[in-house]
């Protein structure tokens, strides 16, 4: 049996990987191993490893690496702790293949350590562009240390090949998050509201997620304050905030959002993590998604609602026609909100470029059948 080790470090990435994890778990020819790390193990971010366990998974190793600070110094040291923890994990688990998704700093630790252990890596969501975050560089670095690639669009597949990866190892499968929308049993409004500490949706609600723009310095406080000021002018709208990840300056954003919720208890609520099912269910009952999360671009269009994408963090990503971009000033955000919430903003048909035909099945087939012998050695592919 092939031992397939899935590494997960955040609520969002676990939600995207959970369907594939279930498929691996149920496949007789594969053995699922799980390493939980970073935000999953932090009380500040909701101890979301418990969600993994409550979904019926066994976590083989927990790699503690997150320092209790959001400075650049702490982030860099957390990456270093990740190297140590993943070395111990691989020494014990001896996986045949590691599966990772995306572009976060805990994943660069996991993949870099796998390189020294000569363990092949399967990478999801490579080839994408997010020019406003250091995640962009991390994503491309992970691509170069990976051996099987599962991209979310054909354009991204071509970009991975452009980076020197052989076409036979690069597969356009679509985005797992979009497939989740079809497979996850969503909650009705009454059941969902019963889990939201008294929050009710009404006819006008927004879901807001705002992360630091990590290639900018000292902009987090001003940008989130501008967003909150714009939301103040929509006083008839209720707001669900999902709090930012463990990135540099993330605590600045969290603090200001929590203060806003305290000042607006009848119309706003905030969660470190909604979990996959509650998050997707909430998208059924909000008018729009606001912020700078990748989910607003990748998954939200499949719900037929608009996204207001703020600032530079997601610059370069392919997006459906339901995604509206705006600057980070209060007036720019307010103008964008007015546009997407206007009755004149009517998108008759949304074509989500991230939708695949059989995303999980296609990935499972490759990781089950692709020859692993010699996979660790790569030649740079020159696409002339």
What domains are there in the chain, each with its CATH number?
A: 2-174+356-369 (3.40.50.2000), 189-341 (3.40.50.2000)
**Contact between 102 and 140 (Cβ < 8 Å):** no
Are the C-beta atoms of 57 and 81 separated by less than 8 Å?
no
Both tokens of 109, joined, read 């630790």
328/226 Cα distance (integer angstroms) = 7
The kind and range of the H/E element at 14 are: helix 11-26
Q: What are the tens digits of pLDDT across the range 209-258?
A: 999 998 888 899 999 999 999 999 999 999 999 999 888 889 999 999 99
Question: Which DSSP symbol is given to 292?
Answer: S
Higher pLDDT, 163 or 45: 163
Q: Which bin fits 337, alpha (ψ -120 to 50), beta or left (φ > 0)?
A: alpha
Coarse DSSP helix, strand, coil percentages of the chain, rounded to the nearest 5 percent: 45, 15, 40
CB 359 within 8 A of CB 183: no
What is this structure's pTM?
A: 0.94
3-state SS, residue 247: coil
pLDDT score of 3 more than 80 = yes
d(CA 336, CA 308): 7
Q: Coil, strand, or helix at residue 250?
A: helix
- The number of C-alpha atoms within 13 Å of 61 and in the hemisphere containing its C-beta is 21
CA 130, 44, 274 angle in degrees (round to 5)?
65
CB burial of 58-75 (b: ≥16 within 10 Å; e: otherwise) equals ebbbebebbbeebeeeeb
143-165 average pLDDT score: 98
- pLDDT of 313 > 90? The answer is yes
Q: Is residue 96 within 8 Å of 117, Cβ to Cβ?
A: no
Which pLDDT value is given to residue 348? 75
Percentage, residues of the chain above pLDDT 90: 90
Exposed, middle or buried: residue 270 (CB in 10 Å: 0-12, 13-18, 19+)?
middle
Of 247, 262, 274, nearest in space to 130 by CA = 247
């Amino acid at each position: 049996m092939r031992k397939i080790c899935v590494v997960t470090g955040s609520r969002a990435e676990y939600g995207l990987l959970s369907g594939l994890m279930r498929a691996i778990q149920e496949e007789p020819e594969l053995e699922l191993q799980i390493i939980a790390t970073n935000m999953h193990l932090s009380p500040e971010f909701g101890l979301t490893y418990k969600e993994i366990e409550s979904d019926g998974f066994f976590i083989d190793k927990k790699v503690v690496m997150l320092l209790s600070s959001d400075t650049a110094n702490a982030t860099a040291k957390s990456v270093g702790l990740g190297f140590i923890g993943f070395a111990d994990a691989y020494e014990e688990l001896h996986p045949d293949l590691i599966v990772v998704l995306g572009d976060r700093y805990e994943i660069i630790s996991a993949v870099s350590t796998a390189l020294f252990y000569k363990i092949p890596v399967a990478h999801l969501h490579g080839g994408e562009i997010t020019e406003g975050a250091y995640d962009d560089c991390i994503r491309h670095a992970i691509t170069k240390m990976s051996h099987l690639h599962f991209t979310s669009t054909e354009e991204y597949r071509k970009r991975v090949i452009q980076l020197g990866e052989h076409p036979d190892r690069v597969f356009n499968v679509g985005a797992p998050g979009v497939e989740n929308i079809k497979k996850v049993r969503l909650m009705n409004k009454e059941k969902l509201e019963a889990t939201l500490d008294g929050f009710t949706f009404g006819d006008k609600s927004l879901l807001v997620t705002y992360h630091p723009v990590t290639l900018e310095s000292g902009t987090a406080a001003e940008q989130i304050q501008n967003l909150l000021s714009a939301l103040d002018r929509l006083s008839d709208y209720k707001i669900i905030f999902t709090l930012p990840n463990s990135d540099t300056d993330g605590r600045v954003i969290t603090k200001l959002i929590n203060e806003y919720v305290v000042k607006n208890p009848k119309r706003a609520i905030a969660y470190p993590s909604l979990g996959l099912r509650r998050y997707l269910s909430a998208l059924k009952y909000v008018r729009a998604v606001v912020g700078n999360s990748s989910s607003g671009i990748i998954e939200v269009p499949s719900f037929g609602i608009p996204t207001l994408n703020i600032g530079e963090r997601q610059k370069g990503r392919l997006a459906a026609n339901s995604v509206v971009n705006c600057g980070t000033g209060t007036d720019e955000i307010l103008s964008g909100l007015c546009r997407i919430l206007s009755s004149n903003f009517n998108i008759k048909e949304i074509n989500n470029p991230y939708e695949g035909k059989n995303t999980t099945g296609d990935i499972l087939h490759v990781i089950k059948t692709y020859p692993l012998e010699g996979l660790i050695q790569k030649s740079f592919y020159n696409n002339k």
